[in-house]
Amino acid sequence: MREDVIKAENLTKIFNRSVVAVDHISFSVREGEIFGFLGPNGAGKTTTINMLITVLKPTEGTASILGYDIVREANEVRKVIGVVHQEYTADEDLTGYENIMLCADLYGIPRDVARKRALELLDLVDLTAFKDRRVETYSGGMRRRLELACGLINRPKILFLDEPTLGLDVQTRAATWEYIRRLKEEYGMTIFMTTHYLEEADALCDRIAIIDHGKIIVVGTPGELKDSLGGDIITISIKEEEDVTDIIKSIENVKEVRKENDAYRVKAAYGEVTAPLLIEALRRRGFTVTRLSLTEPTLNDVYLEYTGRAIRDSEESKEAFRMHRITLRRARGG
Amino acid sequence: MSRTSALNECRPSFARGLWALTRRELKKWLNDPVMLVMFVLQPLIWMGLLGKSMRIDALFSAGNINMPSQIPIPGNAILSPRGLSEVVLDGKALSQIFANLGSKIMQNTFGVTDYFSFMAIGMVSMIVMTTTMFSGMSIVWDRRLGFLDKVVSTPVSRAAILFAKVLNATLRAMFQATVILALAYILGLKLSSTFTLLNLLGVYAAIFLMSVGLSSVFLAFSIRSTRMERPMQFISLITMPLMFASNTFFPTHLMPDWLQPIVKANPLSYLTDALRQLTILPMDISAIIWDFIYLGVFAGILSVIGLILSWRYLTR
């Protein structure tokens, strides 16, 4: 049975007694899954992660990681988690290898174990050839991979990834996803990640929580979230003239059928399962299906449905975003 | 739910974390030869120009007094012996008298006969101060570049994070002090007869106390700044007054009365005095003890305040 490895209850962070960054959120993450926090910039994703990784103390509420309380047993939490921050945190003046070894020292991993593991991790993220070069010569993708390797030096049970592909180009992003999947398979870790890229959440996450203005709006698998919108759209055409609306309606999961010109527009849950059933049913009654197309709702549709706006629109203007960041930074700094 | 057994191989230790973080800073510093050269060049230029150009002892030298060979003195200026109508003084002899008087004045003013030695030691304490403060500033970068975020999310002791910064500042200050002392010796620093190699330990101890106190407070200040400009401005604001309101370049007892209490409260004065006592002055044990007590109290109070403030910040 899969256990809940992260449990958050009413987790809240208020900066400077006025800026509510995270507003009473509760959720749990199961062992072995990739759990994604999806939301626009400034929604409270990083603040949540910072509380879970014990860098920030919650103003209210609590959370536990593998049963350890994030405030009272912060040091135990730190030992069992790995963190890959949004920024590149490696020391530019040191080499890739030195950076990993520095992390190992901070975790107190025995030197001989650390040395072996560092080389293994560098190999895993394809940086072996560059291990003795200073990090300042690394490209964005290489830095991101080095961050991943550093985050894994203590063989964490839970890995936190904060915007793992922020600022990477499309190709590097896809490659990074590959590395994350590889890590998950290789080490069977639970991964908690934040992102504001819908494609990323869709491609990587087993479950997603949509967060906006510091609140969790909905939690579910990408499929569930999409299905919650009423399902996929199947457009189907048949050779025969007869009306088959009733036949289509009789099939399981079909919610709505509309005849548009020569085609039937069918709204159904689990479109990829329903479509074959549809073809099968029609064929059994002697109809010939000539065309079929299946359109799945995207996460963008989900986002639109739950937040009332598209994720791209909800990204505030650059200036507003900058001001927001400054306010947050000040609040954190003071 | 049942607790998954913690990874038993993680044994974060204070000492290892402290050393790893300190070594990182020192590595960054030693990896940069240009920085190192400038580090050495800066005190060299100061000493070469200020120390060698301001030859206060030369004011009183025979060459400067430059008397005519015969100085006639009117009879009425002489009280005794009576009856003489005119006395002629030997200018050369008089110059010599003044010159001897000059070195007496130097001795009384600076405690040594050459200003260079006096100034060079002042230089050491000044460099200790600036190096300490500038090293503390690196935490602003660590914060901005996210390195600090990474470090605090590891199980390394929070104290190790702070002490690494303090230790780094202190080691750098000691290293620089060594370089300056060596350079000054080559350039003609006159060590007193009471100087032994053992005194060097005292020199390092004094520098250590000063650096620890100053860098702790500076750390607390820097860790809360999001921008480099603030600590930079702060350094340039306080360096000058600390330097001149101390005995670094000029002896306290000749300063105006209103300034003297400030100089006497300034920890830099105690550092400088301790260093001078240990190197160029005939050592005065009671003065040294007093210097160390003051520096010790200073270091104790400031590091406690600084570390508490920084700690609070790290464990928000």
Inside any domain, residue B3: no
Chain B, residues 117-156, CB within 8 A of chain A, namely: 145-147, 149-156
Q: Looking at the 3D structure of chain B, how many domains does it have?
A: 2
Please indicate, yes or no, whether residues A182 and A282 belong to a single structural domain of this protein.
no
| Tens of pLDDT, residues A126-155 | 899 999 999 989 988 899 889 988 988 988
Q: Residue A102 and residue B20: Cβ atoms within 8 Å?
A: yes
Dist. CA A147–CA A84, nearest whole Å: 6
d(CA A200, CA A163): 10
Q: What is the pLDDT of residue B4?
A: 40
pTM (2 decimals)?
0.77
Q: Give the DSSP H/E element, type plus range, for residue B115.
A: helix B115-136
| pLDDT at site B2 | 34
Q: Which residue of A has its CA nearest to B11?
A: A108
The parts of chain B modelled with pLDDT lower than 70 are 1-9, 57, 60-67, 73-87, 316
Residues A65 and A80 in one domain: yes
Q: Do A86 and B146 touch (CB under 8 A)?
A: yes
Average pLDDT over residues A183-189: 82
List chain B residues with CB under 8 Å of A81: 153
Distance from C-alpha of A169 to C-alpha of A116, rounded to nearest angstrom: 32
- Do A307 and A285 lie in one domain? The reply is no
Find the distance separating the first CA and the last CA of chain B, reported in whole Å: 28
Would you state the pLDDT for residue A128?
Answer: 92
| Number of structural domains chain A divides into | 2
Instruction: Verify that A146 and A71 share a domain, yes or no.
Output: yes
Q: Which two tokens stand for residue A164?
A: 């793992």
> Does A72 share its domain with A45?
yes
- Residue B63: how many other CB atoms lie within 10 Å: 8
Do A321 and A234 fall into the same domain? no
Whether residue B151 sits in one domain with residue B105:
no
Asked if B81 and B200 sit in the same domain, the reply is no
Structure tokens given for A64: 């536990």
Residue B177 sits in the same domain as residue B97: no
- Average pLDDT of chain A, as a whole number: 85
Q: Mean pLDDT, to the nearest integer, of A21-25?
A: 92
- Amino acid letter at A84? V
Whether residue B27 lies inside any domain: the answer is yes
Beta carbons of B127 and B211 less than 8 angstroms apart: no
Q: A313 with A207, same domain? A: yes
A65 bridge partner residues: A6, A68
- pLDDT value of residue B248: 83
Give the structural domain span for A43: 4-225+303-333
Place of tokens 């590149």: A88
Using the Cβ of B227 and the Cβ atoms of chain A, whether some distance falls under 8 Å is answered with no
Count residue pairs from A and B with Cβ separation < 8 A: 115
Asked whether residue B6 is domain-assigned, the answer is no
**ipTM score for this prediction:** 0.76
Report the length, in residues, of chain A: 334
Q: Is A157's CB within 8 Å of B2's CB? A: no
Q: Return the axis-axis angle of helices B229-244 and B115-136, rounded to nearest 10°.
A: 160
User: Is the per-residue pLDDT at A326 higher than 70?
Assistant: no
Minimum CA–CA partner of A67 in chain B: B3
- Helices then strands, counting H and E runs in chain A, come out as 13, 14
Contact between residue A164 and residue A193 where contact means Cβ atoms under 8 Å apart: yes
Residue B63's pLDDT is: 64
The contacts of residue B157 (CB under 8 Å, 6+ apart) are B12, B13, B14, B17, B18
**Residues 17-76, chain B, touching A (beta carbon < 8 A):** 17, 19-21, 24, 27-28, 31-32
Distance from CA of B31 to the nearest CA of A (A): 8
Which of B3, B21, B24 minimises the CB distance to A67?
B3
Q: Which domain holds residue B96?
A: 55-110
Question: Which chain B residues are closer than 8 Å to A98 by Cβ?
Answer: 27
pLDDT digits (tens, 9 = 90+) for A247-263: 888 888 888 888 877 78
- Please give the backbone phi and psi of residue A212, each rounded to the nearest 5 degrees, phi first: -150, 135
Q: Does B287 share its domain with B207?
A: yes
Q: Do A85 and B146 touch (CB under 8 A)?
A: yes
- At A274-306, the pLDDT tens digits run 888 888 888 888 888 898 888 877 777 777 777
Cα–Cα distance measured from residue B269 to residue A128, given in angstroms and rounded to the nearest whole number = 54
Residues B45 and B68 in one domain: no
B85 with B140, same domain: the answer is: no
Name which of A27-41, A187-201, A268-282, B47-61 the model is least confident about.
B47-61
User: Which of B128, B133, B154 is closest to B220 using CA atoms?
Assistant: B133
A149 and A257 assigned to the same domain: no
Indicate which of B153, B158, B161, B311 best probes the interface with A, i.e. most A CBs within 10 Å of its own CB.
B153
Distance of alpha carbon A12 from alpha carbon A70, whole angstroms: 13
Q: Could you tell me if residue B8 is inside a domain?
A: no
Question: Domain holding A270: CATH number?
Answer: 3.30.70.100
Give Cα A172 to chain centroid, integer Å. 17
Q: Which of B154, B158, B225 to probe the A interface (max A CBs under 10 A)? A: B154
Query: Which of B5, B10, B19, B22 should we substitute to test contact with A (largest number of A Cβ atoms within 10 Å)?
Result: B10
Residue B202 has a pLDDT of: 92
Q: How confident is the model at residue A296, as a pLDDT?
A: 76
Q: Name residues whose C-beta falls within 8 Å of residue A107's C-beta, 6 or more positions apart in sequence.
A: A79, A153, A154, B10, B12, B154, B155, B156
CA distance A26 to A11: 6
Q: Are B156 and A89 a contacting pair at CB < 8 A? A: no
Token code pair at residue A74: 């912060």
pLDDT of B81: 56
Q: Fill in the amino acid letter for A246.
A: D
Q: Which two tokens stand for residue B85?
A: 């109508």
**Which of A66, A68, A93 minimises the CB distance to B31?**
A93
Q: Is residue B69 part of a domain?
A: yes
Contact A105 B19 (CB under 8 A): yes
Contact at CB, B17 and A105, closer than 8 angstroms: yes
Q: For residue B99, give both structure tokens.
A: 């010159």
Residues of B in Cβ contact (< 8 Å) with A88: 145-146
A190 & A252 share domain: no
- The answer, yes or no, to whether the previous bond of B81 is cis (omega within 30 of 0) is yes
Share of chain A above pLDDT 90, in %: 34
Inter-residue long-range contacts of A286-290, CB under 8 Å, 24+ positions, other chains counted: A287/A238, A287/A239, A287/A240, A287/A242, A287/A244, A287/A247, A288/A238, A288/A239, A288/A240, A289/A236, A289/A237, A289/A238, A289/A239, A290/A237, A290/A238, A290/A239
Please give, rounded to a whole number of angstroms, the shortest distance from the CA of B205 to a CA of chain A.
29
Which tokens belong to A14?
């208020």
